[in-house]
Structure 1
């Protein structure tokens, strides 16, 4: 398997995921076109009448062509680049044998530049730092230019009638100055195309570049030593517009200086030597570096600020950052949706729809926040117009000065959810109880009673089965309303006799159950049955008629857990035996006669 190209893993290239190979070759074709244009421009500057060390942009662009593809394609690409160079030399009238002498030095320069830059591309693509950019300029311009100058010094003196040292100096001067001028644009186009596209859409960047070019032409036309002024112009562009504008201005200033010097427009001293003319461009190569490093530093700060704001905007909280005047600096997307009026430059207090009193509280709170987090609740004063909010704030000192970070929490939705949850809980709890008697219904009673028996751990318990005597006769003679009145009275009585921790429930129409936990192991079932029957008996006045409530109770005492249905069956049997053992008078209405005594059904 062939090694992956280091650029393939860089998300900053923004290449489509569908056809990465086709995207890579499209990038290579664009780089080849830039190389051809660089050749034309470099040869045009070299043919000026007074050109002594013309700036050579093509080799740095040729290195970008090689870097656009994996190293296994470099021989093919290098052959294409050398072919283009030979063709362009012949087009400008250079003999073939003379043009071939330039190929080894230029080819070596492009190959060395690509090989030295390749290990550092990933770091340059991920982050911009002045030290990394300076290293890229050294590896992509100074060292390749030196290699090309050494080869040129061996092959060209016989053709140019110059000494090897003069030839090497001319080559190295033009190559280094040209690479320093064009390499920033090549690296940005290769590694930071997102930044390139963003900056190209900014009109102020183009205005700054054009103004810098105009000032450079003017300075070069009137001064024989314009380098300090040119550096100041480039530094000003770097401080105000960032790296791309500085790269464009650097390239333009280098072309302007080369054109003015080559055309004879620059006023040079009469006694200046040929070496002095070449030395005109060495200060340019050195003065291009500070502006680029300053631009990289500015770009890095802007990128960090932009990343912080983007991360802040994507926070899942309603968060905001305020300046010293309590104006918004950054707003999260969630806060923007909740509060559409919140935007940078607007005071936070003005965005919140608060009464004057609450607004003053917020203003005072924000002005007094320190380094420790503080909290303020709004809407807890009983005001129906004030939103229920919680504000948390903290003052921090960062790269961009003191900032107040505020997190808002809308408590109204939380309160509504708590109320809905409470209502649901109450409704669920109410569904467990019988609305007539207020006791647990059969299902909830069985579930809770079984859990209570499991928790006894060997302690004694008592289970009572309670049956209302002759409830059917009351319903038949006095109506179901009278029977319901008796059942409600029985429910009230059972609630009075149970202790905390005991359970009472209605398990049938006229059948009830009572589970008493932690009773005395010597408790007699008959005695408890009798006491319950006496406690639950009552006389009730129903619509002017006296009704008597009597019950039969069967009690089962134990200490081992068992299925509740079996225990209730045993308690029911005890109740049945007790009801048979004694005949009780049923509920009767005074003045209507008493029904004959019958055994319990």
Structure 2
């Protein structure tokens, strides 16, 4: 029931709307035919087609058939009541309908959304060209029919028809369309009503002064106030200004006044044609100005809206947004600088405020240079000075934008955020990783290098080229009868013996030599760039002497000794060969009675000897 009621209400509104359009078309057609008709059955003013086009463009295309039928019937009836014959009435009504369909069809096809401000310039060009073409088509057809049925010359009929329809279409179609679709932007008249009225009064006064005198050809004086009104009020200025020009000029010309009366041997038809051409020229001159001004206002509003939107984003962003010139001068600083850096934005606009950490200035300068050179965004991390003196780590994304001063220069936008916590976490993670790496290469009990570090160092020492005559020596050693220490005094005492042994061993070697614990009581010393085996023997002697001093463990003094095996190689050797020789030398030292050392060259070294 509700759907039926709604559908019935919609149909009622639709028929009412068609009836209103038909009444307006009929009324304006009656005025044109009975008041403004010139000899030859052609009217000097025709506004019905403009109403028709404006109404169609304000309705959906699928509803057009009903409106087309209502408009055609309204004009046909008015022509019949005005005394035109059936044939002439039908033909002229059909020609007017063809004119309406050409204009409305082209505009609807090429500019479907006439309320879209971005299409105003295109709409103006399409509407003007389609109007000129459609009025030409209808004028040629109507002039042929009228000339065949009357004594009016074809060219005269065409000029009257064409100019009357063009002027009516331009003024009335625009006014009708604007009345239906506020989105096209007639003007901001309600807010500037008295300014608008005063400007239109100026146009009316100038038009009256020009057209109610017949002594001087002053038609050109009409254009300045007309263009001024168009410049100030856009479409409202066009519609009202051209309407005033047409009314004042039409009445004055009909009464025999005005500059057009200066044309010798002219009659009312010729003066009317000239007036129509003058008004049409004013239309063609005014509409592009109105369209351009409307587009300029739209673009200005769009730019202002964009600036406000992006300014709001920058002002309320948690990131610090800075706009600066290529030389580093800051042009804009967002309010978030107050929360992150403690500075007021106005303070940071002073050239004297240099915030970048001295160690990071090169990073910022390189970032600016890279952005300006490549035009691509660049992200960098550096420190900025807080107002209280400490430095804040900032991650800044920089990109280039056109300079605020115009020209070919470029400015730079920085969007930076506080990453101090992240940097601190990364530094802590890096230190932890380094510490873990160090622990992975050190013996936890003695603090000496472990087997992993020893293997890496030995591989590197044997792989790199050595200076002529220099050798690599390897000393293997362990603590004599260390198992008895653990069994008699416990593992804690054994650990203490290992620690002190490692300390005494480290004190006996050179600064560049590597001391490592391989595990248990096994220790090793790697000596590089050895000029003679005596150096390794000297280290072994010093270690044995230092171990002659007892080791205090609790209330006991332990006396421990060590056996040492020494291997060396003059030529590049394989690690397996060198370690086997050192192990064999250690075995020889134990066999010799312990607390001593044995030196054993590798096979290559022995062959050289």
- The one of 434, 441, 446 equivalent to 1:437 is 446
- The one of 407, 427, 446 equivalent to 2:414 is 407
1:430 to 1:40, Cα distance in 2 relative to 1, 3 A: farther
Matches within 5 A, 1:215-254: 224=207, 228-237=224-233, 246=234, 249=236, 254=239
Matches within 5 A, 1:243-392: 246=234, 249=236, 254=239, 258=243, 268=252, 270-271=255-256, 273=268, 274-275=272-273, 278=276, 279-300=278-299, 303=302, 318-321=320-323, 353-354=342-343, 363-365=350-352, 378-379=384-385, 383=389
Q: Does 1:423 align with 2:419?
A: no
Q: Is the 8 A contact 1:177 1:282 kept in 2?
A: no
Q: Is the 8 A contact 2:207 2:249 kept in 1?
A: no
Aligned to 1:464, the other structure's residue is in SS state strand
Q: How far does residue 438 in structure 1 lie from its aligned partner after superposition? A: 1.9
Q: Is the 8 A contact 2:50 2:169 kept in 1?
A: yes
User: C-alpha root-mean-square deviation of aligned residues, in Å?
Assistant: 6.1
1:63 to 1:494, Cα distance in 2 relative to 1, 3 A: farther
TM-score w.r.t. structure 2 length? 0.58
Q: How far does residue 528 in structure 1 lie from its aligned partner after superposition? A: 7.2
Q: How far does residue 456 in structure 1 lie from its aligned partner after superposition? A: 1.6
Aligned to 2:352, the other structure's residue is in SS state helix
Matches within 5 A, 1:394-543: 396-399=403-406, 407=414, 409=416, 410=418, 412-413=420-421, 415-417=423-425, 419-432=427-440, 433-446=442-455, 448-449=456-457, 452-453=460-461, 455-457=463-465, 460-496=471-507, 502-520=513-531, 523=533, 527=537, 530-531=540-541, 533-534=543-544, 537=547, 539=549, 540-543=551-554
Q: Is the 8 A contact 2:394 2:420 kept in 1?
A: yes
- The one of 56, 71, 77 equivalent to 1:88 is 71
Higher gyration radius (CA): 2
Give, in whole Å, the separation in 1 of the partners of 2:189 and 2:130: 26
Q: How far does residue 533 in structure 1 lie from its aligned partner after superposition? A: 4.2
1:387 to 1:523, Cα distance in 2 relative to 1, 3 A: closer
State the Cα deviation string for residues 147-201 of structure 1 (Å, max 9, x = none). Answer: 554455445656898654444445544555567669999999xxxx9xx98x98x
1:299 to 1:527, Cα distance in 2 relative to 1, 3 A: same
Give, in whole Å, the separation in 1 of the partners of 2:567 and 2:583: 9
Give, in whole Å, the separation in 1 of the partners of 2:155 and 2:286: 24
1:426 to 1:47, Cα distance in 2 relative to 1, 3 A: farther
Q: Is the 8 A contact 1:463 1:513 kept in 2?
A: yes
**Aligned residue in 2 for 1:101:** 95
Give, in whole Å, the separation in 2 of the partners of 1:465 and 1:557: 11
Between stretches 388-397 and 102-111, larger displacement belongs to 388-397
Q: How far does residue 573 in structure 1 lie from its aligned partner after superposition? A: 4.4
Give, in whole Å, the separation in 2 of the partners of 1:449 and 1:63: 93
Q: Is the 8 A contact 1:45 1:258 kept in 2?
A: no
Q: How far does residue 283 in structure 1 lie from its aligned partner after superposition? A: 1.4
Alignment gaps of 5+ in structure 2: 1-16, 37-43, 79-88, 209-221, 258-267, 356-364, 370-381, 597-609
Q: Is the 8 A contact 1:86 1:99 kept in 2?
A: no
Alignment gaps of 5+ in structure 1: 1-33, 69-76, 238-245, 342-350, 586-601
Give, in whole Å, the separation in 2 of the partners of 1:408 and 1:379: 16
- The one of 40, 45, 67 equivalent to 1:53 is 45
Aligned to 2:565, the other structure's residue is in SS state strand
Give, in whole Å, the separation in 1 of the partners of 2:177 and 2:528: 84
1:126 to 1:382, Cα distance in 2 relative to 1, 3 A: same
1:553 to 1:354, Cα distance in 2 relative to 1, 3 A: farther
TM-score w.r.t. structure 1 length? 0.58
Q: Is the 8 A contact 1:556 1:571 kept in 2?
A: yes
Give, in whole Å, the separation in 2 of the partners of 1:114 and 1:312: 39
State the Cα deviation string for residues 242-261 of structure 1 (Å, max 9, x = none). Answer: xxxx45x46xx527855996
Aligned to 1:431, the other structure's residue is in SS state helix
Aligned to 1:102, the other structure's residue is in SS state helix
Q: Is the 8 A contact 1:378 1:390 kept in 2?
A: no
Matches within 5 A, 1:143-222: 145-146=135-136, 149-155=139-145, 163-173=153-163, 176-177=166-167, 207-208=190-191
Give, in whole Å, the separation in 1 of the partners of 2:143 and 2:562: 125
Q: Is the 8 A contact 1:461 1:557 kept in 2?
A: yes
Q: Is the 8 A contact 1:554 1:573 kept in 2?
A: yes
Q: How far does residue 90 in structure 1 lie from its aligned partner after superposition? A: 1.2
